[in-house]
């Protein structure tokens, strides 16, 4: 290989950028939609087929995104370690094993051994990543402006979803340990996040939807507790419901802010928290069992489904309506990530 050819390939490698990790929110949002339809089959008697079709879509999107990231990464001069150390993107990598846990828990219903293996391997990967990123945060290289809702993913979302999925595959002690991890870091990281949002400049537009993740912890924790302790009201489940209500009201109050945002792939950050809240709400409606509770439950299913479909359609339009639409959609996320990094 001549020196000129080598230099040309090096320049090409520098020009190719990795896909923003924010895009894994697509598979996460679809997993939320599949979960609420699976819950609807359990509580409302809908067909299991709908949920399983959606879980198949989750699997396809998860595998496709992993392959796309690996292929692009192989052509880029930026290493995976550099991307994981990025203050805005790094925490979002936790979505890879988190979606793996959810897929494993669904697979367990039909193929117990492979499902349990996938759940355990995903929890192990999430634990290793959480330990690594916590150690990285200890270096003191982060700025407060870089903090966003995605920082809840490596420990809070991963811990609480690990609690739910490990309980479903018959590992109750692991579930309790994971639940404790999720609750502890929910308190710690939410405190830091709320302080950042209150006392520093607003997040860039493409990262603002990550504020919706504040809605997810009480719902995911509540679902985990029901899985561990049974679906009945008690002190913990009722407390988590109260927290979910105040977080939901906060999100309603933020709607005027969200409406000013230009659409981007970052809007997928809205999908899983909404689905998690809807699913936990449905479980409480079935417990209350007042006359007509099914209509409210169907409203929650419809709301989540419509929001995910609309965001999916807008995403397809965004990446197909103009030349190089995928690159343009990625660049919006990348600019937002880099904006907080520069600060």
Return d(Cα 83, Cα 33) in angstroms, integer.
28
For residue 326, count other CB atoms closer than 10 A to its CB.
15
Give me the pLDDT at residue 146, please.
87
Q: How far apart are the first and last CA of the chain?
A: 41
**Predicted pLDDT of residue 278:** 97
Torsion angle of C-alpha atoms 315, 320, 323, 327, degrees rounded to 10: 40
pLDDT reported for residue 320? 86
**Of 148, 249, 250, 264, nearest in space to 205 by CA:** 264
**d(Cα 119, Cα 108) in Å, to the nearest integer?**
9
Task: Enumerate residue ranges in the chain where pLDDT < 70.
Answer: 1-15, 322-324, 341-343
User: What local confidence, expressed as pLDDT, does residue 5 receive?
Assistant: 42
Q: Which helix (H) or strand (E) holds 7?
A: helix 3-15
d(CA 80, CA 95): 15
> Are the beta carbons of 70 and 24 closer than 8 angstroms?
no
pLDDT tens profile 93-111: 999 999 999 999 999 999 9
Task: Tokens for 252, please give them.
Answer: 């309603």
288 burial via Cβ count (<10 Å: 0-12, 13-18, 19+): exposed
The second-level CATH assignment, the architecture, of 20-342 is Alpha/alpha barrel (1.50)
pLDDT of residue 191: 94
pLDDT of 143: 84
Q: What single string gives the DSSP state of each residue in 166-233?
A: HHHTT-HHHHHHHHHHHHHHHHHHHHHHHHHHHHSPPPPGGGGGGGGGGGHHHHHHHHHHHHHH-SS-
Domain boundaries, the chain: 20-342
Q: For position 61, what pLDDT does the model report?
A: 97
Q: List all residues 6 or more positions away from 287 whose beta carbon is below 8 Å from its beta carbon.
A: 231, 232, 233
Strands (E), the chain: none
Q: Is the pTM of this model over 0.95?
A: no
pLDDT tens-digit profile of 206-258?
889 999 999 999 999 999 999 999 999 999 999 999 999 999 999 999 999 99
């Amino acid at each position: 290989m001549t020196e000129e050819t080598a230099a040309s390939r090096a320049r090409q490698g520098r020009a190719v950028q990795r896909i923003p990790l924010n895009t894994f929110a697509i598979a996460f949002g679809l997993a939320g939609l599949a979960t609420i339809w699976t819950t609807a089959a359990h509580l409302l008697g809908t067909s299991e087929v709908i949920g399983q079709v959606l879980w198949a879509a989750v699997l396809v999107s998860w595998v496709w995104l992993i392959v796309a990231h690996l292929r692009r990464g192989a052509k880029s001069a930026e290493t995976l370690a550099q991307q994981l150390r990025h203050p805005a993107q790094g925490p979002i990598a936790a979505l890879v094993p988190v979606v793996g846990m959810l897929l494993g828990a669904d697979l367990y219903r039909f193929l117990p051994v492979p499902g349990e293996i996938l759940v355990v391997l995903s929890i192990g990967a999430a634990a290793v990543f959480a330990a690594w990123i916590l150690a990285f945060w200890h270096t003191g290289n982060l700025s407060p402006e870089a903090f966003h809702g995605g920082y809840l993913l490596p420990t809070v979302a991963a811990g609480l979803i690990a609690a739910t999925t490990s309980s479903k595959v018959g590992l109750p002690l692991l579930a309790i340990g994971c639940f404790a991890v999720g609750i502890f870091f929910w308190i710690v990281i939410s405190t830091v996040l709320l302080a950042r949002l209150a006392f520093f400049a607003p997040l860039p537009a493409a990262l603002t939807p990550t504020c919706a993740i504040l809605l997810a912890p009480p719902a995911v924790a509540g679902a985990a507790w029901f899985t561990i302790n049974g679906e009945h009201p008690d002190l913990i489940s009722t407390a988590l419901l109260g927290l979910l209500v105040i977080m939901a009201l906060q999100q309603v109050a933020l709607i005027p802010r969200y409406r000013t945002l230009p659409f981007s792939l970052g809007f997928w950050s809205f999908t899983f928290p909404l689905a998690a809240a809807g699913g936990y709400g449905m479980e409480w409606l079935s417990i209350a069992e007042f006359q007509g509770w099914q209509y409210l439950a169907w409203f929650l299913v419809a709301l989540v489904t419509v929001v995910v479909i609309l965001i999916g359609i807008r995403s397809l339009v965004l990446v197909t309506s103009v030349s190089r639409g995928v690159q343009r959609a990625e660049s919006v996320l990348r600019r937002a990530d880099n904006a907080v990094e520069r600060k």
